[in-house]
Amino acid sequence: MGPGVTGASGPGAAGPVHRALADEVGRLRAARPGRRPRVLDVGGGSGAWAVPLARLGCAVTVVDNSPNALAALQRRARDAGVPDLVSAVQGDVDALAEAAPGDGADLVLGHGLLEVVDDAASAVAALGQAVAPGSAVSVLVAGRYAAVLGRALAGRLAEARALLTDPDGRFGPQDALRRRLDVATLRALLESGGLRVELLQGDGVLEGWVPGSVRDGGPAAADALTELDELAAAAQPLRDVAARLHALARRPAPGS
């Protein structure tokens, strides 16, 4: 179905995606006290998201094609003191049926996944089948409009035009990504897979536009930028031009 992803950015200490995942983990803990939330991270590579989630007390299984990335994952988990909470499975989206718990995972991540798989709709269906009814799928994808603006500001107008007009948001056959998504396309893709979108926000809304001198201005500037970026994450139309789009979508429980 396509290669796994090893380069997606991780949650760090703050950020809108990290906050959304931490809130979901809190919801899971409140619903099932005394049980570790079971997370399935598809294309999770070296554990940029998996290890922080394990540090929150989750049992995380990472599915990725790259043996080198999975080796780095295990090193990172050891360094973080959570080796017993992180498991590695070599494979891609097709391996989910074997990697997921029999009754479904409590949270499934597909970060940096949908832009590289051959068939995004099939990948969404697999993510939805791997999560337990009533539980959530977190998807993080490359945003189309941020790429358009970035190319235009760099003077690469032909690429900007292609990114804007191509059905998959690609700038040509040499593009490393199979697709970039906008808000409407991402929502439709998730809903067509039987998931209910509860949150759709931007990630890295301002990272491409704030001068480096501001980003490197010390802890106070970094904190101010983080706070501003979190506010911008949910503010349309700023959300729509984020470098990445994040969605949290829930598999309906029976009878809901």
Is 189 inside a domain boundary? yes
Is 256 inside a domain boundary? no
**Other C-beta atoms lying within 10 Å of the C-beta of residue 254:** 6
Number of structural domains (the chain) is 1
pLDDT of residue 97: 78
Is 212 inside a domain boundary? no
Band (159; pLDDT cuts 50, 70, 90): very high
CA dihedral 74, 78, 81, 85 (to 10 degrees): 30
Is 231 inside a domain boundary? no
What confidence tens digit (pLDDT) does each residue in 174-189 have? 999 999 999 999 999 9
Estimate to the nearest angstrom the gap between the alpha carbon of 159 and the chain centroid.
25
Measured CA distances, 51 to 11, 14, 68 (Å):
10, 15, 16
| Average confidence (pLDDT) over 3-29 | 71
pLDDT of residue 9: 46
Is 224 inside a domain boundary? no
Estimate to the nearest angstrom the gap between the alpha carbon of 165 and the chain centroid.
25
Write down the residue that tokens 């358009």 correspond to. 148
pLDDT of residue 1: 38
Task: At 97, list the tokens.
Answer: 């049926």
pLDDT of residue 11: 44
- Spatial distance between the Cα atoms of 244 and 213, rounded to a whole number of angstroms: 23
Band (98; pLDDT cuts 50, 70, 90): confident
The more confident residue out of 140 and 231 is 140
Q: Are 147 and 169 in contact (CB under 8 A)?
A: yes
pLDDT of residue 170: 97
Q: What is the pTM of this model?
A: 0.91
The more confident residue out of 20 and 1 is 20
Taking 50 as the threshold, does the pLDDT of residue 5 lie above it?
no
Is 165 inside a domain boundary? no
Taking 70 as the threshold, does the pLDDT of residue 25 lie above it?
yes
Taking 80 as the threshold, does the pLDDT of residue 8 lie above it?
no
Q: The domain that contains 102 carries what CATH number?
A: 3.40.50.150
Is 200 inside a domain boundary? yes
**3 state SS for 53-83:** HHHCCCEEEEEECCHHHHHHHHHHHHHCCCH
Taking 70 as the threshold, does the pLDDT of residue 109 lie above it?
yes
Q: Strands of the chain (E only): list them.
A: 38-42, 59-64, 86-90, 105-111, 131-142, 196-203, 244-250
Band (111; pLDDT cuts 50, 70, 90): very high
Is 198 inside a domain boundary? yes
pLDDT of residue 201: 96
pLDDT of residue 48: 94
pLDDT of residue 255: 77
Helix axes 157-165, 144-153, angle to 10 degrees: 160
Give the pairing type, strands 244-250 and 105-111. unpaired
pLDDT of residue 14: 67
| Average confidence (pLDDT) over 87-113 | 89
Q: Length of the chain in residues, anyone? A: 256
What confidence tens digit (pLDDT) does each residue in 190-220 have? 999 999 999 999 998 987 788 888 878 888 8
Band (12; pLDDT cuts 50, 70, 90): very low
Q: In what order do the strands lie in the sheet with 38-42?
A: 86-90, 59-64, 38-42, 105-111, 131-142, 244-250, 196-203
Domain boundaries, position 54: 16-142+181-205+242-249
